[in-house]
Amino acid sequence: MKGLTHIVPSRAAVLTSFGESSCQGISPRFSALVWNIYKAKRVTWATDFYWLTRGKDLVLLQEAFLRPAMLEVIEKADHLRWDLAAGFTRKMAAIDAGVMTGSQAEPEEIFFLRSKAREPVVRLPKMVIGTTYPIRESRKKLLVLNVHAINFVTMPNFRRQMRQLEEKIILHRGPVLLGGDFNTWLARRSNFLNNMTEDLGMELATFSPDRRSRHFGRCIDHVFVRGIKILSASCHYEIGSSDHQPIELELEILG
């Protein structure tokens, strides 16, 4: 598929930003939404998006597909600024697709991590977008890593992408929010991710009842935090506009 209908953008063309931030810095207590939106293909997506993003401080989307109709919907969430890291661009319509983070606060730093490996058949990478934000009444910075993990590759290639995340988390001295679609439908993937984040001193968000999206009986969407207290975590199992259920969290930065 790559080369015929899609291209992998140059490093200079990966990041796109639009919209305006609505506040200075992240509040020490904040809300977050994590959702693989299935390229916003289903009819009820716009209605669900408006409802789910209302008042959110942070929104982490995977499979953002910036066709004009989706852009029109997203731009109406005018309390958020959006930053996209494109994994590929559709040639015919110049549509970027990848991971996208919305935030009420202006990020101080924006970066991306592109998987070294490519998924088979399509020959396209998977992406991470990283953003850092000032925290109100604090000298600390919040690091947010929005992840879409590579799929259908060998375990060494999966580990390689996870090690990219690990390096960023080790270097960051403040609180960290790590979330997204990790494609952990194999036990060895799930075990590796859990062991890595545990070694990094991160806490896994848990759900009761746990109705997150599953492949082969295993949850694939996760949220991990460090230096942050999870006040509540819920899964919107009633949402049918994606093949993934949205995850909503209330969080508080420690210290």
Write out pLDDT tens, residues 41-79. 787 898 999 999 999 999 999 999 988 888 988 888 889
Judge whether 84 and 57 are in contact, CB under 8 Å: no
Range of the domain at 22: 6-253
- The answer to the question of residue 121 being in a domain is yes
Q: What is the count of structural domains for the chain?
A: 1
Judge whether 145 and 176 are in contact, CB under 8 Å: yes
Write down the pLDDT at residue 152.
94
- The answer to the question of residue 75 being in a domain is yes
- The answer to the question of residue 93 being in a domain is yes
The distance in angstroms from the start CA to the end CA of the chain is 49
**How many Å apart are CA 184 and CA 200, to the nearest integer?**
19
DSSP string, 121-173: TT----EEEEEEEEBTTSS-EEEEEEEE---SS-HHHHHHHHHHHHHHHHH--
pTM of the model: 0.96
- The answer to the question of residue 1 being in a domain is no
Q: pLDDT averaged over the chain?
A: 94
Residue 223 CA, distance from chain mean position = 9
- The answer to the question of residue 67 being in a domain is yes
Q: What is the CATH number of the domain that holds 52?
A: 3.60.10.10
- The answer to the question of residue 105 being in a domain is yes
- The answer to the question of residue 247 being in a domain is yes
Write out pLDDT tens, residues 169-203. 999 999 999 999 999 999 999 999 999 999 999 99
Write out pLDDT tens, residues 78-112. 899 999 999 999 877 678 899 999 999 999 999 99
